[in-house]
Chains A and B, each alone.
Chain A
Amino acid sequence: MKRFLLALTLVFPVMGNADDASDAPLFYGTGLCTNPEFECIKVQGGQSWEKLFPDEQQRDIVQRVNRNYNYLYAGKVLAVPRHLKDANLLDFSPFPKKIKGDVGRQIIVDQNKLAWAAYETDGHLVKWGPIASGRTKCPDSNHVCLTMTGVFRVFSKEDAKCKSDVFPIGKGGAPMPYCMYFHKGFALHGSSDMPGYRASHGCVRMFVQDAKWLNQEFVQVTNEAKNKVGTKVVVRPVLQTGKPS
C-alpha cells in the first residue's frame, strides 16, 4: 500500500499544485520535501555522494530522485527516501509502470518531470532516469534552446566518443557520449553535468550509464535498406517554467 501511494504521488504530483507549480516541482529534488515519504537533508562541508551514501544502489536512487549527480556543495538540499534500504528504483518512477502496448519500444522524455522512461513493446516500463533538456534561452547565443517536441525515431547513434559538431560555438567538440539522434541535431546523450534543471542547448542529457544502456541495449536505428524503423522517442513539451532556464 505504501508503495502504491508513493508511486501515485510520483506519477500525479502536479495535480494538487496547479497554481503554484511554477517554482516548486513536486516530482523531484526539493519539491519532494513536503512529501512524508521523503526527508530532506542539507549537505555539510566535505560531504560527497560517496560519503553520504556508501551503498552504490542507494546512492543511485537518491541521485535519480534528485535528478542530479553533480559534485555536492555545502548547503545543497537533497531529498532522501525514508525507506531507502528497502527501496527499488521502479518504486520512484515518475512514469506509470504499464502503458498501452503493441506499439514497439519507445522512450518517453518528460521535460516537466525531468525524466526519461523506456517502455518495452508490451507496454512495460523497463528503466527510467533523469534528464536535463534544452534551456528556454541559451546564454551563449541568446537563441531559444528548447528541445524539439513531438514523436520521432532514432536515426543515428554513436559510441562513447560521440562529440558535438557545434558546441562550444565556433569550435565543437563537446562530449556527447553514447549519442542517439532522433531529430536533426537533437540527440539523447550522456553527460557528466546533470544539474537538476533544464540546462542544455537542446539535446537531452542523461546519466552516462543510462545513455550507455539505452544505446547498447535498447535503441534500434532506422535503416531503410533493411526495412527497420528506429526506436520511437516521444518528447513532451515544457508545460511549466520549472527551475532556472
Chain B
Amino acid sequence: MKQLAKFYRSKGLILLLVLAASPAVFSAMEAEDKNPLGCRDLGYEYHLKTLNLVPPEPEGVPSLYFMFNQTSKPVLLSQMRSKNDTDEMSINHIIPARQWAVLAMDHQHVKYVCSAIDGKTPYGQIVDCAQAVKVCDFARVKYGLNNRGNFWMVSGNSKNGALREVTYYGVIAR
C-alpha cells in the first residue's frame, strides 16, 4: 500500500513538473516560430500551394529571407521555372524539420513548390507552402561585395543559430 502511495506521489510529482514546465516549453516553441527581430512579414506571397518570393527591395539590392519549416518532416523547396527564366540553375533546398534556413537573393521573383520528404519518393508529397513554411524578409541588410549572390546561406539551424551563422557570414542585419 505504501509502495502504491509512493508510486502515485512520484507520478503526481512528474505530472506537476510537466505542468509547471509546459508553459516554458510552449513559449520556447512559440519563440522559435516567431520571426527574428527585424525580419518583416513582407516580400512573399502564397499562391495556391506555392510560395512566391517577391523582394520588396529595388532591383539589384540583395535580400535575405529567413524560412522556418513548421512541419515535423524535412520540406523540399523546388524552384518553378518559367519560360522567361534565364538562369541556368534552380536554387532548390531541403529545410530540416522545425528549423530555419536562410536564402540570400538578388532575383526579382522566385517561385517555389513545397513537398514533404517522406523517404518513399525522391521528391516527397506536395504540401501547401503556406502551412509548411513560414517566411520573413530581412530588409535592412548590408552585404559586402564578396558575399552577394543567390544562394542558401544557412541550410538549417535554430533561430539563434541561423542568426549567428548569418552574422558569421559577414552579412550585417541593421
Residue numbers of A with Cβ under 8 A of B are 99-103, 106, 108, 148-153, 155-156, 181-184, 222, 224, 229, 234-236
Contacts of A102 in B (CB 8 A): 86
Q: List 21 A-B contacts (CB under 8 A).
A: A100-B85, A100-B86, A103-B87, A106-B88, A108-B89, A148-B151, A149-B89, A150-B104, A150-B150, A150-B152, A151-B87, A152-B148, A155-B145, A155-B146, A182-B149, A183-B146, A183-B148, A183-B151, A234-B87, A235-B89, A236-B89
- Contact between A103 and B86 (Cβ–Cβ < 8 Å)? yes
- Contact between A149 and B151 (Cβ–Cβ < 8 Å)? yes
Q: Closest 9 interchain pairs by CB?
A: A150-B151, A152-B149, A151-B150, A103-B86, A155-B145, A234-B89, A100-B86, A150-B149, A234-B88
Which of A149, A184, A236 has a CB less than 8 Å from the CB of B146?
A184
Cα distance, A61 to B174, chains bound together (Å)? 52
Which of A108, A184, A222, A229 has a CB less than 8 Å from the CB of B88?
A108
Cα distance, A153 to B150, chains bound together (Å)? 10
Cα distance, A106 to B87, chains bound together (Å)? 9
Q: A100-B85, A156-B145, A236-B89 are in contact. List 4 more A-B contacts (CB 8 A).
A: A100-B86, A150-B152, A152-B151, A183-B151
Contacts of A235 in B (CB 8 A): 89
Cα distance, A222 to B60, chains bound together (Å)? 12
Q: Using CB atoms, name the residue of chain B closest to A235.
A: B89
Cα distance, A106 to B86, chains bound together (Å)? 11
Contacts of A148 in B (CB 8 A): 151
B91 beta carbon closer than 8 Å to chain A: yes
Which of A99, A108, A151, A222 has a CB less than 8 Å from the CB of B151?
A151
Cα distance, A236 to B87, chains bound together (Å)? 11
Cα distance, A103 to B85, chains bound together (Å)? 10
Q: Using CB atoms, name the residue of chain A closest to B147.
A: A184
A131 CB to nearest chain B CB (Å): 15
- Contact between B88 and A99 (Cβ–Cβ < 8 Å)? yes
Q: Using CB atoms, name the residue of chain A closest to B148.
A: A153
Q: How many residues of B contact A (CB 8 A)?
A: 17
Known: A102-B86, A108-B88. A181 touches B151 (CB 8 A): no
- Contact between B91 and A151 (Cβ–Cβ < 8 Å)? yes
Contacts of B151 in A (CB 8 A): 148-152, 183
- Contact between B146 and A181 (Cβ–Cβ < 8 Å)? yes
Per-position contact with A for B95-128: 1 when CB-CB < 8 Å, else 0? 0000000001000000000000000000000000
A81 CB to nearest chain B CB (Å): 26
Cα distance, A149 to B149, chains bound together (Å)? 10
Cα distance, A184 to B149, chains bound together (Å)? 11
Contacts of A155 in B (CB 8 A): 145-146, 148
Q: Using CB atoms, name the residue of chain B closest to A101.
A: B86
Per-position contact with A for B124-168: 1 when CB-CB < 8 Å, else 0? 000000000000000000000111111110000000000000000
Q: Using CB atoms, name the residue of chain A closest to B92.
A: A237
Cα distance, A152 to B151, chains bound together (Å)? 8
Cα distance, A103 to B152, chains bound together (Å)? 22
Q: Using CB atoms, name the residue of chain B closest to A233.
A: B149
Q: Using CB atoms, name the residue of chain A closest to B87.
A: A151
- Contact between B146 and A150 (Cβ–Cβ < 8 Å)? no
Q: Using CB atoms, name the residue of chain B closest to A102.
A: B86
Cα distance, A102 to B104, chains bound together (Å)? 23
Cα distance, A103 to B150, chains bound together (Å)? 15
Contacts of B149 in A (CB 8 A): 150-153, 182-183
A57 CB to nearest chain B CB (Å): 28
